[in-house]
Structure 1
Amino acid sequence: MSTVIEQTVQARLVAAAPRLHTVPVTLHYDRRDPFAVRMTFPAPATLEGVEACWTFARDLLAAGLKGSEGQGDVRVRPYGYDRIALEFHSPEGTAVVHVPSGQIRRFLEATDELVPAGLEHLQLDLDHELAELMRDAG
């Protein structure tokens, strides 16, 4: 059984400096890091011209389909009838992207098949993680 889910979604960059309107963005979920989702933006979509990756909680993405969520670097909220807005805050500024809600729902459904929401803790091998920490500390 696969341990990773990747899905490309079409993200509309709001007020994009490179003037790209819609870009393919990759959503990534790995059962070895069951609480997290990665969203990777291709190099042409960034001001620096290098690929950018943001990691945030899977439950933040799910909650953002229903209402405004997040207080830190990543914030998610519904936008109109069929989109969600994701805000990415960094010292360099804020990026806002709109993604079709249906694409996010499909991604989350696939992640739930791999690791059901609420059962993420069962994927963690805390003894192994602790042993790794102790080995690295020594």
Structure 2
Amino acid sequence: MSTVIEQAVQVRLVASAPRLESVPATLHYDRRDPFAVRIDFPAPATLEGADISWTFSRELLAKGVRTAAGVGDVRVRPYGYHRTVLEFHAAEGTAVVHIGTGELLRFLDRALTLVPAGSEHLYLDLDHDLAELLGDAR
């Protein structure tokens, strides 16, 4: 069984212009980091012209498809019946994207099949993480 889930999605980038621009993105879940999800944006979709990744809690994403969630750098909330808004806050500014709620729910279902909610701790390799941390201290 694979330990990684990737799902290509189209998101709508909300810009200051009156239109929404469709851009590609990839949702990513790896059971070796069972509490987190990641969304990757390729360089052409970013203002900086470089690949951008945002990592945040799987629980935040799951909650945000139903009700507004998040108070920090990443915020998620439903938008109508079929879309979810993801806001990414950084010192450079805020990026707002709309994504189909159905796509998010399919991704979350796959991630929950791989690592059920409440069992994330069983997939942590604390010995390996501690060894890496101590190895960096040398």
TM-score by length of 1: 0.93
AA at the equivalent of 1:65: V
Gaps spanning 5+ residues in structure 2: where?
none
* 1: CA distance, partners of 2:127 / 2:25: 35
| Partners of 1:20 and 1:45 within 8 A in 2 | no
- Which residue of the partner structure matches residue 25 of structure 1? 25
**Seq. identity, %:** 69
| Partners of 2:31 and 2:123 within 8 A in 1 | yes
CA RMSD, 1 decimal? 1.5
- Which residue of the partner structure matches residue 13 of structure 2? 13
* 1: CA distance, partners of 2:39 / 2:133: 27
AA at the equivalent of 1:96: V
Does the alignment pair 1:57 with 2:57?
yes
AA at the equivalent of 1:136: D
- Which residue of the partner structure matches residue 135 of structure 2? 135
Alignment of 1:30-109 (within 5 A): 30-109=30-109
| Partners of 1:3 and 1:31 within 8 A in 2 | yes
AA at the equivalent of 1:22: S
* 2: CA distance, partners of 1:6 / 1:94: 25
TM-superposed CA distance for 1:16, in Å, is: 6.2
TM-superposed CA distance for 1:9, in Å, is: 1.1
* 1: CA distance, partners of 2:71 / 2:52: 21
* 2: CA distance, partners of 1:122 / 1:85: 31
TM-superposed CA distance for 1:20, in Å, is: 6.9
Over 3 Å counting, the alpha-carbon distance change for 1:36 and 1:16 in structure 2 is farther
TM-score by length of 2: 0.93
TM-superposed CA distance for 1:13, in Å, is: 0.5
Over 3 Å counting, the alpha-carbon distance change for 1:52 and 1:20 in structure 2 is farther
| Partners of 2:67 and 2:77 within 8 A in 1 | yes
